[in-house]
Amino acid sequence: MTNKIKIAIVGWGNVGRGVEAAIKQINDMTISAVISRDTDRVKKEIDNRLPMFSTEKVNEVKADLAILCGGSATDLPYQGPFYANLFNTVDSFDTHSDIPKYFAAMNEVSQSKKHISIISAGWDPGTFSLERVLANSFIPQSKAYTFWGRGVSQGHSQAIRAIEGVADGIQYTVPAEQALATVRSGTNPELTTRQKHTRECFIALKPGADEKKIKELIVNMPKYFSDFDTTVTIESAEQVAERRKAMPHTGFVITSGKTGNNKALIEYRNQWDSNPDATACILVACARAAFRLRQEGRCGALTMLDIPPSYYSPLSHAELLRDWM
């Protein structure tokens, strides 16, 4: 079909693979390119299944939209504006404190090129941002609480794997049941970082490694673990490898306040068996919205806060009115 939305996947990692899987589940998109810096590696995996382009050949790519699957720390700050210059884009920029700056940079490029750039899509930032803003708008003077987990944190896992003597490791972020229960009771408590989440590390040690010293290094690591109650469990390399096959994640946004003089509470929860696949599915829905907004003549940077919900859906306006209201 020639009228499918043509998607270029930029970057072939877990999220890029997830975008391929997500597009297989729907009927209105096709992958016209996988763009990578490392075509040798990617070629082995995608074979001739998908058209592949090195970053040098990006000008040959024909696509309605590029989904940027790179990371926020080093990839997106330059990849974002680079690709917004060439295509409509969707990305998952997730360094919360830098979002205004990144928005401004992307908006400047995409306005000048008459492209749409949806930034910071995914679940947090993304759907969780959406739910925080919706609930805060519907329940005036409310307080929003976000809990992450139980789920794998890539950043924290990388931090423990970088420690000398650690052969392999994985970290789970776990919301504290007591904190969840208190928030659900509608009392709007003040909660410290330590009260909201605990952290569970599972590591395999290298031969001769000092278990006690490594455990102390982990639980006292500033920024990553020192503000949390952290447990470290030693496992075999096989056990940790088995854990690393799955990347589940869960999260909660709970908003509590009053409507008039009456208590009101909204709780939103998502539960993903695969965090990157879920992120990819949200990026793909955003791609559909971006394509439609561009067709209507819109351009510039947007977040999920700026998108009418119906634009994400493959269903027609008439279908939505009839079956989904």
- Helical H runs in the chain? 14-24, 39-46, 76-84, 99-112, 127-138, 154-161, 177-184, 193-196, 211-219, 237-243, 275-295, 317-319
Cβ at position 68, least distance to a second copy in Å: 17
**Measured from the CB atom, is 125 or 169 closer to a second copy?**
125
Distances (CA, A) of 16 to 6, 34, 69, 89, 260: 15, 9, 6, 14, 46
Cβ at position 89, least distance to a second copy in Å: 17
Tell me the DSSP string of 234-256.
E--HHHHHHHTT---EEEEEEEE
Cβ at position 99, least distance to a second copy in Å: 5
**Measured from the CB atom, is 201 or 283 closer to a second copy?**
283
Interface ranges with a second copy (CB under 8 A):
18, 21-22, 24-26, 96, 99-100, 103, 120, 125, 127, 129-130, 132-134, 136-141, 258-274, 277-278, 280-282, 285, 288, 303-310, 312-315, 318, 320-322, 324-325
Cβ at position 120, least distance to a second copy in Å: 6
- Give the Cα separation of 185 and 193 in Å (integer): 19
Q: What φ, ψ does residue 45 adopt, rounded to 5°?
A: -85, -40
Helices first, then strands: H and E counts in the chain: 12, 14
Cβ at position 152, least distance to a second copy in Å: 13
Q: Which two tokens stand for residue 90?
A: 């969707």
**Measured from the CB atom, is 33 or 282 closer to a second copy?**
282
Distances (CA, A) of 316 to 66, 321, 323: 24, 9, 10
**Measured from the CB atom, is 155 or 308 closer to a second copy?**
308
- Give the Cα separation of 127 and 303 in Å (integer): 10
**Measured from the CB atom, is 137 or 236 closer to a second copy?**
137
- Give the Cα separation of 277 and 22 in Å (integer): 7
Cβ at position 114, least distance to a second copy in Å: 19
Cβ at position 43, least distance to a second copy in Å: 22
- Give the Cα separation of 322 and 325 in Å (integer): 7
